[in-house]
Structure 1
Amino acid sequence: MKPPERRPEAVITTERLVLRPLTADYLDLFVELQSDPLVHRFTPAYTREQARERIADIEGQWATRGHGLCAVELKATGEFLGRCGLNYWAEFDEVEAGWTLRPAAWGHGYATEAARAVVEWGLARLDVPYLTAMIDPVNTASARVAGRLGFAPSRQDTFLGHEITVFARPRDRHRG
């Protein structure tokens, strides 16, 4: 999946990936990602209008909070792999690290690489005691990514009408 021509400047660069703020320029790629049946088993599918609203919220978080979700691109080719970043959820008063990649990108370590960079970036910049990761209990692949990043199950909750396990990653892994 090719990224749009107008792309924001990179926020985070890793060995293999470039993460850029997710903007309206990524609308078609975002809708395609979220519409994939394998992806929307665990995250909502969006109509174009719903995606437009969600991306406006993401752009608002970048403008007001200094963080948000990013488009994840393969550094070598610019190929769009998915999204990863930090999202503030007012209903929990928590910042979540989230990652969603298209199925063709699964199994290459990209989710762990992107999420590790986002978590380190967030904990270095935000005044929060911990980050969360909200994961569907049957999404064992995401739970493994969370575990690799120092997250541990914290509580069961409900989000968007779905039961979730909320993992937490304290600022200092050796405390709490």
Structure 2
Amino acid sequence: MTSPVLHTKRLTLRAPVIADFPAYAAFWASDRSAYMGGPKDEAGAWFWFCHDVAQWALLGHGALMVDLTVSGTTVGQVGLNGGPKFPETELGWQVYQGNEGQGYATEAAAALRDWAFASLPVDSLVSYTDPYNAASIRVAKRLGAVPDPEALGQDPDDLVWRHTRRTQ
């Protein structure tokens, strides 16, 4: 499947391209990735970048880069993750340094969530958050997700947030 291009009021969500890798790798090399299993070296970042891209062909979903529509500046990424490392289809997000607190993660994740419910055979999605990642917990709550203590997390200590069609 070819990835979609999605538009919100301020953002364009589009397929990753090789030119996105340096900023992506910088995110993974930074302490900002600590809640996601980082920091990672360039090879580790490359693994996840390729994973994000390959999922479109293999699973019919994957990651999209988040650009400011007006300037074209990439401010982060949002993705639907699957495969052996993910117990369920995950809606995840990352915002690059200096772009926090603008609502980009919530806006982009809502657009991808809505696309997933309209385009994929899923009745729910989950978001895995580290219990100490207050910013991501706030995003999950703003998206209308609810805690699901019975769901299996990606990592043993994860909080699992459930998104259903009715939380849109």
In the alignment, structure 2 segments of 5+ residues that lack a partner are none
Q: Label 1:158 to 1:133 Cα distance change in 2 as closer, same or farther (>3 A).
A: closer
Counterparts of 1:97-112 in structure 2, within 5 Å, are 97-112=91-106
Aligned twin of 1:150: 144
- Cα contact 1:34–1:40 (8 A) shared by 2: yes
1:85 & 1:55 partners in 2: Cα distance?
A: 11
Q: Which residue among 46, 60, 73 is the counterpart of 2:40?
A: 46
Give the strand-richer structure, 1 or 2. Answer: 1
2:119 & 2:40 partners in 1: Cα distance?
A: 30
Give the helix-richer structure, 1 or 2. Answer: 2
Deviation track 1:109-144 (CA, whole Å, cap 9, x = no partner) reads 111111111111111111112000000111122111
Aligned twin of 1:159: 154
Q: Which residue among 7, 13, 33 is the counterpart of 2:7?
A: 13
1:32 & 1:91 partners in 2: Cα distance?
A: 23
Aligned twin of 1:73: 67
Count of residues paired in the alignment: 165
In the alignment, structure 1 segments of 5+ residues that lack a partner are 1-7
- Cα contact 2:85–2:154 (8 A) shared by 1: no
* Structure 1 residue matching 2:70: 3-state secondary structure: coil
Q: How big is the shift at 1:66?
A: 2.1
2:105 & 2:139 partners in 1: Cα distance?
A: 7
Aligned twin of 1:168: 162
TM-score by length of 1: 0.84
Q: C-alpha root-mean-square deviation of aligned residues, in Å?
A: 2.2
Over 3 Å off, 4+ runs: 156-160
Aligned twin of 1:94: 88
* Structure 2 residue matching 1:128: 3-state secondary structure: coil
> Is 1:140–2:134 an aligned residue pair?
yes
- Cα contact 2:86–2:154 (8 A) shared by 1: no
Give percent identity, aligned residues only: 32
